[in-house]
Amino acid sequence: MNKINKLFAERPADKKLLSLYFCAGCPTLDGTADVILAMQSRGIDMIEVGIPFSDPLADGPVIQTAATQALRNGISVQKIFDQLKAVKDKVTIPLVLMGYLNPILHYGIEAFCQSCAEAGVSGMIIPDLPFSDYLDTVKPVADRYDLRVIMLITPETSEERIRFIDDNTDGFIYMVSSAAITGAQKSFDEQKQEYFRRINAMNLRNPRMIGFGISNAQTLKAAQDNAAGAIIGSKFVTLLNESEGDANAALDMLFEALRS
């Protein structure tokens, strides 16, 4: 069974999941494996490994800066796969690659999916992948390699489209907390809370994870109360940079921030 499906299938009813994002190659070129293993040892349920891109449209300044630094460090899609393969046998939790379409097309859809399977990757998030291209081109290849292509929804996504996504994807749905770019927020306002309630009432087939803006106890609780779990990106990327790549130190600071 795909590790993403296994994670949600075996999750106790009262267990709320926590997934973290970091950008491969930042702050150090060769730190990817150490960050993953540290996260796993500290109880993180799922990891998003970011593929740096020069024009990350959905990302805020923190992740944009991390991507720029990673590219300057010399990271590439091939190097990311090489780093993941080196720890494949040690990683038991789902790994999801998060990247934009351009570098994936340059690598080749078939080659990318094959490399994902060889490196122990369970799924991918491609924010700028048109849904028609997903259905016609990407999904058939991903299915052959037992990979899950995770789609995002926002407060502006129509109910019709949400149900279409739910019917044609597997794994989980990435529920973006707002229509804005990534970045830490102190709280979720009533408009966002209403969005959470609206999606809850749809009784979707796929589980949902809420991301974008989660950085403290209040935003974490709001996300976990309204989905299977939460995804944290910018806050952890900031802390990882502050700790100069020491993932355990960054996790200590993150867990402290999530208690306050």
Positions marked catalytic:
48, 59
Start-to-end C-alpha separation, the chain:
37
Phi, psi of 148 (to 5 degrees): -100, 130
Q: What does the alpha-carbon distance between residue 113 and residue 138 come to, in Å, rounded to a whole number?
A: 9
Task: Name the E strands within 24-122.
Answer: 46-50, 95-98
Closest CA to 246 of 30, 29, 1, 34: 34
8 Å CB contact between 151 and 171: no
Considering Cα of 243, then 244, then 248, then 251, what sign does the dihedral take? positive
Q: What does the alpha-carbon distance between residue 132 and residue 102 come to, in Å, rounded to a whole number?
A: 16
Closest CA to 177 of 148, 220, 206: 220
Query: Residue 99: which residues within 8 A CB-CB, separation 6 or more?
Result: 50, 51, 53, 77, 124, 125, 126
Q: What does the alpha-carbon distance between residue 187 and residue 184 come to, in Å, rounded to a whole number?
A: 9
Phi, psi of 12 (to 5 degrees): -60, 150
